[in-house]
Amino acid sequence: MTIKVSKGLFNDSQYKLFFDKPFKAKVNSDEFKASLFQPALDEKHKPWGFSFPYTIVAPTKNWEGLQGFVYLEKIEGQYKITSIDTVP
C-alpha cells in the first residue's frame, strides 16, 4: 500500500532521515556496495531508477525493527533520492 503525503509532511517526518548520522554512515561505509542496488519500477513495470535497503531501526529480540527502501531517480543527468518506503 502506498500513502501519498504532501511535500510539507514528508519534509517534517521523513526528509530528515537522509541527514541522520546512521544513514550517512551506512551509505559511506565499506559494506555499502553497488550490489545492494535493485532496479526500481514504475506503475507500468518500467525501470525508472534504483533502490537500496536501509535499516531504520535495528531489530531486537522483541521486535522486528523497521526497514526501508531508498529510491534514486535520474534527474537532469544525476541520481537523486526521491523517496523512501518503510517496511515494519
Asked if pLDDT for residue 3 goes beyond 80, the answer is no
**In a domain? residue 58:** yes
**In a domain? residue 42:** yes
Predicted confidence band at 27 (pLDDT cuts at 50, 70, 90)?
Answer: low
Phi, psi of 73 (to 5 degrees): -130, 145
Q: What is the pLDDT of residue 14?
A: 64
Predicted confidence band at 23 (pLDDT cuts at 50, 70, 90)?
Answer: low
Which of 34, 38, 57 is closest to 47 using CA atoms? 38
**In a domain? residue 38:** yes
**In a domain? residue 19:** yes
- Per the prediction, the chain carries an average pLDDT of 77
Domain that holds residue 78: 7-87
**In a domain? residue 2:** no
**Amino acid symbol at 67:** Q
Residue 46: strand, helix, or coil: coil
Q: What is the pLDDT of residue 17?
A: 66
**In a domain? residue 1:** no
H or E stretch including 16? Answer: none
Predicted TM-score of the model (pTM): 0.56
Which of 44, 55, 48, 46 is closest to 84 using CA atoms? 55
Going by their DSSP bridges, the two strands 47-57 and 38-41 should be labelled as antiparallel
Candidate from 9-18, 49-58, 79-88 with smallest mean pLDDT: 9-18
Cell of 33: 556496495
Structural domains in the chain (count)? 1
Asked if pLDDT for residue 62 goes beyond 90, the answer is yes
